């Protein structure tokens, strides 16, 4: 099982992205049922929003909204992707991670989910706020980055 961050999904739809082949390989594994993906409601919401912004750079407002919703529906309805609710344990875990590492809330939720589900968590790249604690984060979580595979 793999917890997949927003950046990976966005790189998947960005066919011109530097890490698109790596993102596509991961999503293809999920698509084909070779692995299960898990994410939070917060991550799913963020995917819609960022996808809309990316599509707005290329398409009309109407078309962008349509495509962002298609991605949202693809993820939400996919039989090999589970969207976890923001329950007590997950929210507390995210709060603890936020207070300890001071990284983005969406990343905290995904890390808490990966810990709860004992899964790998995959980010597109190492964000600046992660860099100062990367050794500790990698020790505590099964943390991977697409950029490591390019």
Domain-wise residue ranges, the chain = 5-147
Residue 138 has a pLDDT of: 94
Q: For residue 142, how many other CB atoms are within 10 A of its CB?
A: 14
Cα gap 40→33, rounded to integer Å: 19
Q: Which fold has domain 5-147?
A: Rossmann fold (3.40.50)
Residue 150 has a pLDDT of: 66
* CB burial of residue 116 (10 Å; 0-12, 13-18, 19+): middle
| Token pair recorded at residue 14 | 């960005």
The residues of the chain scoring below 70 in pLDDT are: 150
| Token pair recorded at residue 64 | 């962008």
Three-class secondary structure of residue 16 per DSSP: coil
Residue 127 has a pLDDT of: 86
Residue 63 has a pLDDT of: 96
| Token pair recorded at residue 93 | 């875990």
């Amino acid at each position: 099982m793999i917890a997949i961050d927003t950046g990976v999904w966005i790189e998947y739809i960005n066919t011109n992205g530097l890490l698109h082949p790596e993102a596509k390989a991961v999503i293809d594994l999920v698509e084909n049922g070779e692995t299960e993906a898990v994410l939070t409601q917060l991550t799913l919401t963020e995917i819609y929003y960022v996808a809309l912004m990316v599509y707005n750079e290329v398409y009309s407002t109407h078309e962008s909204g349509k495509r962002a919703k298609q991605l949202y529906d693809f993820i939400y309805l996919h039989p090999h992707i589970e969207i976890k609710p923001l329950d007590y344990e997950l929210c507390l875990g995210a709060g603890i991670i936020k207070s300890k590492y001071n990284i983005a809330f969406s990343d905290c939720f995904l890390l808490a989910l990966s810990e709860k589900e004992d899964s790998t968590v995959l980010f597109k790249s190492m964000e600046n706020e992660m860099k100062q604690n990367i050794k500790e984060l990698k020790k505590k979580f099964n943390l991977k980055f697409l950029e490591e595979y390019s």
